[in-house]
C-alpha cells in the first residue's frame, strides 16, 4: 500500500502532501502509515499528554482567536503547486513580514521543525507574499528561535524528503528504529519496529 500516490506533479489533490506530515515523516517514516490506521478513530484514544497539550496550545490558531489585528494572519491555508504541498501557517505578520510556527515546547530545533517552516515559507513566496524572518516559537517558555532562510542545499534536501514521502511503502520499508524516538512515539503499541 502506498501512502501517497506517485511523485509526479499532477493537477489533482491526490498528490498533495500535508505540510504537517513533513515533520512526522522525518521523525519516523512509519508513523505516517500508523497515523492513517488511526484516522477514523478519535484522537483521545491514542494521543498522550504531549499531543493533547500541543493540540490545546494550538487552539487559538485553529480558531483564529490568537489576535484580532488585521495584519496578523492565523491558520491561513497555503499551497504550493511547484512542490505539491498544502497546509496552514500558524502566524504571518503581514506588516513585519514575519512567519512564525508555534510549538508547545521546543528543547531543540529539529530538522522536521525547520522543514515544516520552510514548506510554509515556500508556499507564501509562491502566493506572492514577502517574508523577512522565520521564527519557531516555544509556547511553554515564551522563547523565539530565528531560523535561517533555506539555502539551495536545504531546498534540494526538502525536495528529496517530499519524494521519499511520496514513494514510501510501509510494506517495503526497511529502516533502523531509533530507541529515543520509539520511546516517545504514540504509535509504538501498533508498531512492529519499535524497540521498547
Cα gap 25→162, rounded to integer Å: 9
Q: How far apart are CA 119 and CA 79, in angstroms?
A: 9
Distance between CA atoms of 99 and 73, rounded to whole angstroms? Answer: 10
What does the pLDDT read at residue 6?
35
Rounded to the nearest 5°, which phi and psi values hold at 93? -90, 105
Q: pLDDT-derived band of residue 65, with 50, 70 and 90 as boundaries?
A: low
Q: Are 85 and 69 in contact (CB under 8 A)?
A: no
Please tell us whether the domain made up of 13-184 is placed in CATH 1.10.510.10.
no
Q: Left, alpha or beta for 124 (phi > 0: left; psi -120 to 50: alpha)?
A: alpha
Nearest C-alpha neighbor of 133 from the set 152, 118, 148? 148
Which residues does residue 92 pair with via DSSP β-bridges, in sequence order?
73, 99
Q: Is the pLDDT of residue 175 over 50?
A: yes
Partner residues linked to 146 by β-bridges: 135
Query: Each residue of 93-138: pLDDT tens digit?
Result: 999 999 999 998 999 999 999 999 999 999 999 999 999 999 999 9
DSSP state of 150: P
What's the whole-model pTM score? 0.76
Which bin fits 142, alpha (ψ -120 to 50), beta or left (φ > 0)?
left
Q: Is the pLDDT of residue 1 over 50?
A: no
CA distance 132 to 25: 28
- pLDDT tens for 23-63 read 888 888 877 777 766 666 555 554 555 544 545 554 554 55
Question: pLDDT tens digits for 176-190?
Answer: 666 766 776 777 666
Amino acid at each position: 500500500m502506498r501512502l501517497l500516490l506517485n511523485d509526479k506533479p499532477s493537477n489533482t489533490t491526490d498528490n498533495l502532501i500535508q505540510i504537517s506530515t513533513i515533520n512526522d515523516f522525518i521523525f519516523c517514516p512509519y508513523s505516517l502509515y500508523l497515523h492513517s490506521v488511526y484516522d477514523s478513530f478519535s484522537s483521545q484514544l491514542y494521543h498522550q499528554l504531549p499531543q493533547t497539550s500541543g493540540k490545546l496550545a494550538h487552539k487559538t490558531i485553529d480558531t483564529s482567536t490568537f489576535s484580532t489585528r488585521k495584519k496578523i494572519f492565523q491558520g491561513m491555508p497555503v499551497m504550493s503547486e511547484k512542490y505539491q504541498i498544502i497546509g496552514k501557517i500558524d502566524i504571518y505578520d503581514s506588516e513585519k513580514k514575519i512567519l512564525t510556527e508555534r510549538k508547545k515546547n521546543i528543547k531543540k530545533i529539529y530538522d522536521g521543525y525547520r522543514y515544516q517552516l520552510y514548506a510554509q515559507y515556500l508556499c507564501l513566496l509562491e502566493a506572492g507574499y514577502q517574508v523577512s524572518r522565520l521564527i519557531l516559537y516555544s509556547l511553554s517558555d515564551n522563547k523565539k528561535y530565528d531560523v535561517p532562510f533555506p539555502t539551495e542545499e536545504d531546498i534540494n534536501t526538502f525536495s528529496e524528503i517530499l519524494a521519499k514521502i511520496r514513494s514510501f511503502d510501509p510494506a517495503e520499508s526497511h529502516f533502523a528504529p531509533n530507541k529515543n524516538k520509539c520511546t516517545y512515539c504514540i504509535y509504538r503499541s501498533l508498531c512492529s519496529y519499535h524497540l521498547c
